[in-house]
Amino acid sequence: MVVADLTDHNANVFYELALRHAFRKPVVLLILKEQKLPFDVHGIRTIHYDLSLDGVAEAREEVKNQIVTALAEEYEVESPVTMAAQLDEISRSTKPESQLLFKTISDQLENTNKTVLELKDNLEKFVPRSLDMKEIIPPQIRDQISDTLRCYAEEIELLKSVRHAGIIGLYKRREMAIKAFSRYIDEESSEIMVVGSSLKGLLQKEEYKEVAEKLRFKQGLIKVKYLLTHPIVADFRANQENRRPTEIGLEIIKSLETLRDWGVDCSNVRLYLGTPTCFAIKTTRQMLVNPYPYISVSFDSPCLLLEYSPESGSERPGYFFDEFKSRHFGAWDTDLAVHIQNYDQAIGYYYEKLSDYSYQVSSLIEEGKKAPVR
């Protein structure tokens, strides 16, 4: 028994599928919901799945049911190959009933072809290739449309520029943005990356816990990476938010404990030696960006949802996505992103050093408050 995932139309998978068909071996087909089946296998029963919790559970049950059906003694494998072989066998047969069946099939195909050609001719005859809207719309209506467009010209240009930038959503608070972004996490089939001070913003509120659970679930299916703030610089942020010394540092260490307990591989976690500028989540094509204000917690501030554009060129749309991907998420590949080699060793070390870090930051801040003296 073979379960073949046709997602992304991998050539090797289709080659192996053809072999299964040629030897009349059973196979269960899968493909992501948002992807289309190629014409050649369009008529074959296929499980269309998504990567949400419910979607995976439903797909698993359907795979199980199809395997049970395919392994039954009375099950006969049908595929484009077997159907073509059967038709060829009928065409070669000298039996009168086979010849009659083949002629019937051939006549039906010929009639279908004629019908399609007639429809094509009729469409070309009665439907003009291009319509001049000026001739169809009455002058009075045209004038009203022109007046409306002139009235809202600035708003239209603003909306066009926002869309061109790749902004697909504006939200007053992270809570609303997270809810809107959740479906992109479900749909992602390649990689997700999270950037932030710690995971507290995803774990402290009930509204966010569903997304945190999705990220936890996803890391068993695809790569999910986390770029958190290094504890050594955490108190720079704590001072801005009027929080107690070591408080954010402890949140970062507890986040490492959470990631360890989730089973996230150390290679997918790094600690950045810099105070964060925004909380962000990125999938292959979408991004949530939550800028950090100076004197407030970030989850109370506005958020943007951005989208990648596949177009090319210097003036390509979606440049917000491009900028944050290269200049924010790109921090993952810099020397300031510290690798975690072992969770327990790192956690123990940072617990031990946290008070020292806090004292050093406090000293630097106090030093910075002093007015320069000439």
Asked whether residue 8 carries a pLDDT value surpassing 80, the answer given is yes
When comparing pLDDT for 38 and 294, which is higher?
A: 38
Domain ranges, ordered by start, for the chain? 2-81, 93-126, 131-164, 166-369
- pLDDT for residue 194: 95
When comparing pLDDT for 242 and 108, which is higher?
A: 108
With cut-offs at 50, 70 and 90, classify the pLDDT of residue 181.
very high
Most confident of 145-154, 175-184, 235-244: 175-184
When comparing pLDDT for 81 and 37, which is higher?
A: 37
Asked whether residue 324 carries a pLDDT value surpassing 60, the answer given is yes
Could you read off the pLDDT of 91-119 as tens digits, one per residue? 788 888 778 877 888 888 888 888 888 88
When comparing pLDDT for 263 and 234, which is higher?
A: 263
Is 166-369 a CATH 3.60.20.30 domain?
A: no
Asked whether residue 361 carries a pLDDT value surpassing 90, the answer given is no
What gap in Å lies between CA 176 and CA 199, rounded to an integer? 18
Give the bridge partners for 339, in sequence order.
270
- pLDDT for residue 273: 92
With cut-offs at 50, 70 and 90, classify the pLDDT of residue 312.
low
> What is the percentage of the chain residues whose pLDDT exceeds 70?
93
- pLDDT for residue 367: 83
What gap in Å lies between CA 350 and CA 252, rounded to an integer? 10
- pLDDT for residue 235: 83
- pLDDT for residue 350: 92
- pLDDT for residue 125: 66
Average pLDDT over residues 79-88: 75
With cut-offs at 50, 70 and 90, classify the pLDDT of residue 229.
very high
